[in-house]
Structure 1
Amino acid sequence: MPIGIMINALSVLLGGIFGALGGKKMSANFKDGLNMAFGACSMTMGIYAIAPMKNMAAVIFAIIIGTGFGLLIHLGDWINRGAAQMQKFISRFINAPTGLDRQTFDATLVTVIVLFCASGTGIYGSLTEGMNGDATILISKSILDFFTAAIFAANLGFVVSLIAIPQFVIFIALFFAAHLIYPLTTPSMIFNFKAAGGVLMLATGFRMVQLKMFPTADMIPAMIVIMPLSWLWTTIILPML
């Protein structure tokens, strides 16, 4: 039973509803201050995930190659289009948020999608729960996600709650794929995988505090290539050095 995944998706759903309903009562200073805190938390979690990596070169190669591929296929643009379609759909039932220009809305929504659906913690937590039933990683993540969703929903509206749907689909797919993926991994591959996810979370934190708008959506393929690159580095390249 994917308890952690269900709790995580539910936290985004409820957090989005709570923020959309009570967002008008939150002052701009209050929301900005919490956004800064959440950005710092995201960067802290990213640094924590990066620290135990086993092969820095493999992680760096994965980030560069994955980001390059994402930029080549314009993955960020595809996510923007998907976000626009989500907004068109929900606008049939709920008024669109006011006070945000389109560019800011798209950029913020991409950040939220990546944060909830493609974080290293979420992906690793889904794999871990699928393999041994340990839901503690996702439950811990859910606490932050609830308040993060509430703050973002205060600006973006109910569309934040809908992100719980693709998040649940992605995580549940990883949950069931864990039986095929995990036996093929090594401890070094897992640590490197978490480190690659940590880089994305670190970049996401910079976006949240609006210090630097990293192309986090285009960096998602790094989470796919890190496993084979880690295996290649440890089994073929390192013995040759």
Structure 2
Amino acid sequence: MKGTLVNAGAILVGSAAGLLLKRGLPGRYQQSIMQGLALPIGIIGLQMALKTNNILIVILSLTVGAVLGEMLDIDGRLARFGNWLTRKLGGQYGNVGEGFVTASLVYCVGAMAVVGSIQDGLTGDAATLYAKSMLDGISAVVFASALGIGVALSSVAVILYQGSITLLAGMFGAVLSADIITELSAVGGILIIGISILMLEIKKIKVANLLPAIPAAAIITALWPL
């Protein structure tokens, strides 16, 4: 899990720098920064989504994920948790809940988070997660400058999410084929596009309710030949 711990540390350092920057940054600049960051995030998601080898698996995974997500009300639970964080820490730290949820989704659903954690668990090679750490640390500066301290708290979500994948990969690595990883990444790319749309305030999308689509993609891809 060394790669995940380095990743979380990079997010904390980047967030600290962003919070210092936020103090002297007018609101209109923060909004422009968020919109500017949303555009390349959308492109990254599109690139990941287009790598799918079977669009039917992606569609089915998202459908199953949406049903499960609505049943579990993941988006609502995250929103309530975010509001609780904001009340506890106070408005002087920005919208803590929004920062936590947005940053957690961006850092956790990408291909590098999944593939890097699997590599770390299977072989102990954390090179992918080290590269992700640099990217996340830089983006954390921008996120924190616009969304506040909630971005730093997303490091906890990264540890729990990536750490779990690393541990599971170590135990069940034999069943993780290249096709499964490809479709996991493609579904994750779709969710990243949804995050970009949210950041641009184009439409309200319950991205968190689609998170079960990621494990669903692994199961469906494994069963697809049958």
TM-score category (smaller protein): 0.7 to 0.9
Partner of 2:63: 64
Distance in 1, matches of 2:203 and 2:172, equals: 34
Distance in 2, matches of 1:48 and 1:166, equals: 24
* Greater Cα offset, 8-17 or 142-151: 142-151
Structure 1 residues 97 and 192 mapped into 2: Cα distance closer, same or farther (>3 Å)? same
Q: Secondary structure at the match of 2:205?
A: coil
- Aligned pairs for 1:220-239 (under 5 A) are 220-233=211-224, 235-236=225-226
Q: Which runs of 5+ in 2 are unaligned?
A: none
- Aligned CA RMSD, in angstroms, stands at 2.3
Partner of 1:86: 85
1:120–1:196 contact (8 Å) kept in structure 2: no
Distance in 1, matches of 2:159 and 2:93, equals: 28
What residue identity is the alignment partner of 1:97? Q
Counterpart of 2:176 (choices 155, 176, 185) is 185
* Greater Cα offset, 8-17 or 37-46: 37-46
Distance in 1, matches of 2:162 and 2:47, equals: 21
Counterpart of 1:147 (choices 132, 138, 163) is 138
**1:26 and 2:17 aligned:** no
Bigger Cα Rg: 1
Cα distance, 1:88 vs. partner?
Answer: 4.3
**1:209 and 2:200 aligned:** yes
Matched residue count = 226
**1:117 and 2:105 aligned:** no
**1:97 and 2:86 aligned:** no
Structure 1 residues 190 and 231 mapped into 2: Cα distance closer, same or farther (>3 Å)? same
Cα distance, 1:163 vs. partner?
Answer: 1.6
**Normalising to structure 1: TM-score of the pair?**
0.83
Cα distance, 1:195 vs. partner?
Answer: 0.6
Q: Which runs of 5+ in 1 are unaligned?
A: 237-241
Distance in 1, matches of 2:131 and 2:26, equals: 27
- Alpha-carbon deviations, 1:176-227, whole Å to 9, x = none? 2112232112221111111111111111122222223321111111111111
Distance in 2, matches of 1:106 and 1:28, equals: 18
Cα distance, 1:64 vs. partner?
Answer: 1.4
Structure 1 residues 186 and 211 mapped into 2: Cα distance closer, same or farther (>3 Å)? same
Q: Secondary structure at the match of 2:211?
A: coil
Distance in 1, matches of 2:190 and 2:214, equals: 10
Distance in 2, matches of 1:15 and 1:87, equals: 20
What residue identity is the alignment partner of 1:180? M
Partner of 1:159: 150
Structure 1 residues 118 and 84 mapped into 2: Cα distance closer, same or farther (>3 Å)? farther
Distance in 1, matches of 2:43 and 2:132, equals: 13
- In percent, how many aligned pairs have the same letter? 22
